[in-house]
Structure 1
Amino acid sequence: MYSEDPLLQPTRLLNFEHTAIAGLITDRGWKDLAQHEQIGEVYDFVRNEIAFGYNRADDIPASKVLADGYGQCNTKGTLLMALLRGVGVRCRLHGFTIHKELQRGVVPEIVYPIAPDEILHSWVEAETEEGWVNLEGFILDEPFLGTLQVTFAGSESLCGYGAGTSCLSAAPVAWTGGDTYIQKTGIARDFGTFDAPDDFYRDHRQAFGILRDWLFRKVIRHWMNARVRAIRSGRVPRIPGLDLTNHRHGENQDAA
């Protein structure tokens, strides 16, 4: 029997009753922890054990994100919310758009001009004993973010390669009980809070159009995921006009 609290209920996307998600929660023993540790353990799992990458769509259920083993802001957020609710932590979604410049370097240069000017974005708000916190720093896994920190050592501001931050070297991504961010400086529009991602995607859709949507799902996202893997391994593609002279991993790939 689930709570009648809308911020604790399962939904089609927040399907924490799914055997894979319920089994994960049981296997990790997360329900036995105090709330601070519950949030931290779940957050760290989504941040680092679910790699940064691009799924076929934003509005896929948490169980699918878990099965994929990778995700971006919206899909990793769905999984984070499902796990939080599964251990009894109230949470909600805060919806935004981000400027497409934030994805430059991950989106191949040849298709960057046809990308929408604004990209659907979200972070998770969780209720702690001290109040509500904003959780966004889970998007980039540690190896991926680490490559960016080495590549752009000496430059604190970065908008590109999936990051939007003014404090790159000490980005507030670790769970300490407060807000975490990694794409905050790229935000364009604020849509407010939603009880569940289901509500957000009912009201807001990425404006790709039929052709661009097909290209993204069938071709471009796979190309983007290949570039994400390259960056994670230390090979950062060039963005025209952006200095990569601090790159310490050897010669960079051309941005195809």
Structure 2
Amino acid sequence: MNSPDNDYLSQTPMLDYDHPSLQALIKAKCWRELSPYDAIGAIYTFVRDDIHFGYNTDDTIPASQVLKDGYGQCNTKGTLLMALLRGVGISNRFHGFTIHNELQRGAIPWYLFALAPERIVHSWVEVYLDGRWINLEGYIIDRAYLGQVQARFGDECKTFSGYGVATPCLAQPPIDWHGENTYIQNEGIADDFGVYARPDDFYPTHSNLAGVKKWLFRYLFRHLMNRNVDRIRRRGISGRSRKPFTRMIRQD
């Protein structure tokens, strides 16, 4: 595939696509034998659905650790997606943002939500195909979890924000690969920090937490958050749960 810059194919400490586990996965899935279009779709779908929505120890863990964990959120699942795509020769780049924390209400339990920063570091992946960049964000929420949110709140097609989702239409969010942009949290974007060839260059100056809050998140809070997300995925959302926002939340 023609690339605008070789940096968009390079390996980095975070994008460690030569790691044996990533190479074994690429080989087992025969992704190198696919056309670029089909390889993007297959890898994208794997990261979306086989890697569950959840919270890792840190945004800066390498792709091999995300694969080992088997779960991730926007930033960590994006790292894995970038590494796997580069591992089969598909150029991609990182686009950094923040999102308003309201879209995480419900995914983050109510008793922890007050501790969440008002704006949370966010990212998506941009893939280069047929001479243009395509935004990929719809990989963040796995279909099993999304299906439970839709079962509880997806009866109307209006802008929805909550449970890790911020989309114009919960019933039909643009999350499937058809060679065009995919999104699942873009309606919650607050700040746009631009594009980077390497996620490794973004995170040293952009972080959600520091100090005691970072320690508590790593060793306590994220486990409670993952337990909540897993419960939703397995059992659904109680009918008594408060309905999230159903309006545009983008603010200046």
TM-score by length of 2: 0.91
**Secondary structure in structure 1 of the residue aligned to 2:16:** coil
**Secondary structure in structure 2 of the residue aligned to 1:170:** coil
User: For 1:44-83, what aligned pairs fall within 5 Å after superposition?
Assistant: 44-83=45-84
For residues 242 and 183 of structure 2, the distance between their equivalents in structure 1, rounded to whole angstroms, comes to 26
CA contact (8 A) 2:99 2:120 kept: yes
Count residues with an aligned counterpart: 241
CA contact (8 A) 1:46 1:80 kept: yes
User: For 1:1-256, what aligned pairs fall within 5 Å after superposition?
Assistant: 5-129=6-130, 131-155=132-156, 156-206=158-208, 208-236=209-237, 242=243
CA contact (8 A) 2:153 2:243 kept: no
CA contact (8 A) 2:162 2:244 kept: no
CA contact (8 A) 1:53 1:72 kept: yes
Ranges in structure 1 where 5+ consecutive residues have no aligned partner: 245-256
Deviation at 1:236, TM superposition (A): 1.8
Which is further off, 11-20 or 227-236?
227-236
**Secondary structure in structure 1 of the residue aligned to 2:121:** strand
Which residue of the partner structure matches residue 250 of structure 1? none
CA contact (8 A) 1:96 1:187 kept: yes
Change (3 A) 1:241 1:20: closer
For residues 196 and 51 of structure 1, the distance between their equivalents in structure 2, rounded to whole angstroms, comes to 23
Deviation at 1:131, TM superposition (A): 1.4
Which residue of the partner structure matches residue 248 of structure 1? none
Identity %: 48
For residues 109 and 243 of structure 1, the distance between their equivalents in structure 2, rounded to whole angstroms, comes to 12
Deviation at 1:101, TM superposition (A): 0.5
Q: CA RMSD in A?
A: 1.8
**Secondary structure in structure 1 of the residue aligned to 2:94:** strand
TM-score by length of 1: 0.90
For residues 239 and 205 of structure 1, the distance between their equivalents in structure 2, rounded to whole angstroms, comes to 34
For residues 169 and 89 of structure 1, the distance between their equivalents in structure 2, rounded to whole angstroms, comes to 31
Deviation at 1:209, TM superposition (A): 2.8
One-letter code aligned to 1:91 = N
**Secondary structure in structure 2 of the residue aligned to 1:134:** strand
One-letter code aligned to 2:123 = S
Deviation at 1:130, TM superposition (A): 5.0
